[in-house]
Every structure is written in structure tokens, then in C-alpha cells.
Amino acid sequence: MASNFSRILSSKQRIGVLTFVGGSVTAGFLLHRQHVGAAAPVRRSYPASADYPDLRKHNNCMASSLTPAIYAKLCDKATPNGYTLDLAIQTGVDNPGHPFIKTVGMVAGDEESYEVFSDLLDPIIKERHNGYDPSTMKHPTDLDASKIHSGNFDPRYVLSSRVRTGRSIRGLSLPPACTRAERREVERVVVDALAGLHGDLDGKYYSLTQMTDGEQQQLIDDHFLFDKPVSPLLTCAGMARDWPDARGIWHNNEKTFLVWVNEEDHTRVISMEKGGNMKRVFERFCKGLLEVERLIQERGWEFMWNERLGYVLTCPSNLGTGLRAGVHVKLPLLSKDPRLSKILDNLRLQKRGTGGVDTAAVGGVFDISNLDRLGLSEVQLVQTVVDGVNYLIECEKRLEKGQDIKVPPPPLKQFK
């Protein structure tokens, strides 16, 4: 008899591990809740159809892809850390979405989530990343900033330049699922490595729990301080648990290189400066990232990365490079041109207001950044932004002179 087959499922927390003693695989899991103790009774048994979420009012990538069949196949599985499908999709169930904005609706609790739940995540990734198929394609990583050309913009138009990404520490669960001890371990590993940075990257860590009022005010004035997440997209995924324990901000003395610890990802890495020298911003970005990677490797750690998904992060939308390279750029005349959206689309760029995602542009100043994250390398994406922004500035200059502008041709569809 298949001895102590048991499964402890917690629909809310991270403990749902399939355990087999004796090594035999039992086909078909009948019971959702059974304690491993010898005499504990079966509490309830529900078929997958009873637990399948009601997604009729939903408009997110998870809802588009999660069929009853996929749910039934995956709902009994758990990653080695005990992360389950119900946990992964909770944010998408709780946040039906917006008719115009399609959110992802699912997160990863650990690196293995992308394997264990690939039947659901692969189609989501494909939809979100322009047809990229993780089961057959490979993602290129390229952090050689010397390849960027024409990356110094006209400062009369570009007010600031910024590149951000995230990195996850292999072997530790991601923010939706990590325990307090794991989160503290992430902090320890990252802060330890950052302390090894020198020269223009020499800097300091400010733990959210230990910050003084003076430090807090300075970080607010510098626009560096991040708050406890209020977006239900994040809170429903469990990322705000135990706030502000093990969260913090590191930045270099020159305030051009910044790392957030344990916010939406293990780390978010940001390089920025005023003006239009995107090439220099990207150079510092790459140098900092590669140096931090080297420092954690010295201590026996590494980043989550693989050939098919690139850098692994909490949200499937940030896979690959996790990179958003952008500028704040003044385009008052172009902003009134009805062709702007089409121009941006064809340049593979997106616009946001200067307050970030979901804000409006003020005074004709836009945040312009790359649309893509996965399937193209860092260098390719930054070059796309550089070329695109140069084109936009050209358009603005032409409009200033009363000349007409042209919509650039659409790009080749890479992945379809």
C-alpha cells in the first residue's frame, strides 16, 4: 500500500508539499486536505471543478489562459517550497482587471514555479511577450554597454535618463512566498555584496526598520524612498507581508545607482542621472550589476537565470531582461500630434506620465521607455530606446520648424 502518501495544502500560505514515503507515485490526487499524522481524518475532498475560480468578469492574462482542464491538472501540484497554483493565481482572481489595461494576474513564488506551472505560465508568457515561446526559444543576455551608439541625447529635450531591472537570489523564495527568515537572508546576502562596491559605486544601505527620521526625509527628498505597496495587485499576492521587516534601500554616494531590497523582487537595481547621457547610465548599470554578481558568487550565491527565461523575477512581465530603460523628454508639439501613439508603437516604445505607470504627462514631458522585456537582450533594448528617442527628438525639431514628420515603419514581428 502506498504508505504515507500525504499532502498538506494550505490555500493561503506557502505550505503545500507533496510528500511520498516509499517512492511510489499515486496517480490522481483525490484529497485536497489530509494531514500526515497517522490517525488524522480526511477533512474534505473537493474536485477541481468545485475550486475552479469564477473568471467571467476577468480581463487578465491568467484568466485568458486558465482553462478548467489546466486548473485540474495543476491544482494538486506544488513546488519544492510548497508553493501552489492557488497561491500563484490569487492576485489575478482578486483583481479582475480593467477593460483597457491587461494585467498579468499571476506571480511566481519561487524559481521552480515557472517549471511546475509551465502549462499555465508558458501561454501567459507568450501572450505578454509578443509571441515568445519559452518551450522552444532562448533569451539572449548582453550587458556589454560599449555596444551602445548615439546614446547621448540633446539635453534641451531629455531631462533625465534611467535604466532599471531586478535580480533574484537563487535558492531563496520570491516575495510572494518567502518566510521572514528567507527575506532576511536575501537582505543579508545583498547588503553584504553591495558593501563590496567601490569607487563611484561606493555607497550605503538604509534599512527601513532602522532608518532615522533625518535619513528618511533625505531619501524622500531624493525620491528614493519606496512605500509599503498599496496596489491590490501586489498586496493580494502576499508581497507586503511582515512590512517593513528586511526591506531597505541602498544607494551610492553620488546618488546615481540605487538598489531596492525586498520590495516587489529580491532586488530592483536602478541607474539614473539628470540629462541625456543614456550611454553612461547604461554603462554604470552594467558595471554595477556585473560587480554585484561577482561579489555574490564569491560568497557561493548566484542570480536566478536560465536560457529560456533569462533573469527570473516575481512577475512574468519582468522576465528576460527585466529591463525598463527610459527618459523624461520634452515633446510638447509631438504630444499634440495624433500620430504619436502609432509612432511609439512602431518604435516599440511606451509612454507614461512623469509620475510613473498610470500617471499623466505634465507640460508635454513624457516618460518614454521600451515595451519589451523578453526575447531581446539588454543592449538591444537600450539601443531601441536610444534610436527611438533620437527619432522622437528629430520629429519635435521638425515640428518646431513647421516641417512634417513621418511615421516610422513597423518593426518585423520577431516571435510569431
Partner 1 sequence: MVKDSSTQQLIKRISVNWSQLKMKYSSDQEYPDLSQHNNHMAKVLTPEIYESLRDKETPSGFTVDDVIQTGIDNPGHPFIMTVGCVAGDEETYEVFKELLDPVIEDRHGGYKPSDQHKTDLNPDNLQGGDDLDPDYVLSSRVRTGRSIRGFCLPPHCSRGERRAIENLSLESLDMLDGDLKGKYYALKNMSEEEQQQLIDDHFLFDKPVSPLLLASGMARDWPDGRGIWHNDNKTFLVWVNEEDHLRVISMQKGGNMKEVFNRFCTGLTKIEGLFKERSHEFMWNEHLGYVLTCPSNLGTGLRAGVHVKLPNVSKHDKFGDILKRLRLQKRGTGGVDTAAVGGVFDISNADRLGFSEVELVQMVVDGVNLLVDMEKKLEAGESIDDIIPEQK
Q: Report, in Å, the least distance between residue 249 CB and partner 1.
A: 18
35 is in an annotated binding site: no
Q: Where do contacts with partner 1 occur on this chain (CB under 8 A)?
A: 8-13, 15-21, 23, 25, 32-36, 40-41, 43-44, 46-47, 50-54, 77-78, 80-82, 86, 90, 93-94, 112, 115-116, 118, 122, 135-136, 179-182, 184-185, 209, 235-236, 240-243, 245
Sign of the Cα torsion 383, 385, 387, 393 reads negative
Q: Report, in Å, the least distance between residue 191 CB and partner 1.
A: 16
The span from the CA of 183 to the CA of 173, in Å, is 8
Q: Report, in Å, the least distance between residue 231 CB and partner 1.
A: 13
Q: Report, in Å, the least distance between residue 293 CB and partner 1.
A: 23
162 is in an annotated binding site: yes
Nearest to 245 by CA among 173, 315, 178, 301: 178
Q: Please identify, using beta-carbon distances, which residue of 43 and 339 lies nearer to partner 1.
A: 43
Q: Report, in Å, the least distance between residue 343 CB and partner 1.
A: 38
8 Å CB contact between 43 and 108: no
356 is in an annotated binding site: yes
Q: Do the strands 349-352 and 305-306 form a parallel or antiparallel pair, or are they unpaired? A: unpaired
- 146 contact partners, CB below 8 Å, separation of at least 6: 283
Q: Please identify, using beta-carbon distances, which residue of 215 and 245 lies nearer to partner 1.
A: 245
Q: Do the strands 305-306 and 267-274 form a parallel or antiparallel pair, or are they unpaired? A: unpaired
Q: Please identify, using beta-carbon distances, which residue of 18 and 61 lies nearer to partner 1.
A: 18
Please state, in angstroms and as integers, the Cα–Cα distance from residue 34 to each residue in 46, 47, 136, 259, 356, following that order.
12, 14, 38, 43, 46
Please, what is the end-to-end C-alpha distance for the chain in angstroms?
49
352 is in an annotated binding site: yes
Nearest to 27 by CA among 82, 73, 70: 73
Q: Please identify, using beta-carbon distances, which residue of 54 and 213 lies nearer to partner 1.
A: 54
328 is in an annotated binding site: yes
163 is in an annotated binding site: yes
Q: Report, in Å, the least distance between residue 414 CB and partner 1.
A: 20
Nearest to 301 by CA among 170, 112, 111: 170
325 is in an annotated binding site: yes
Binding residues: 160-164, 223, 268, 324-328, 352-357
Binding residues for ATP: 160-164, 223, 268, 324-328, 352-357
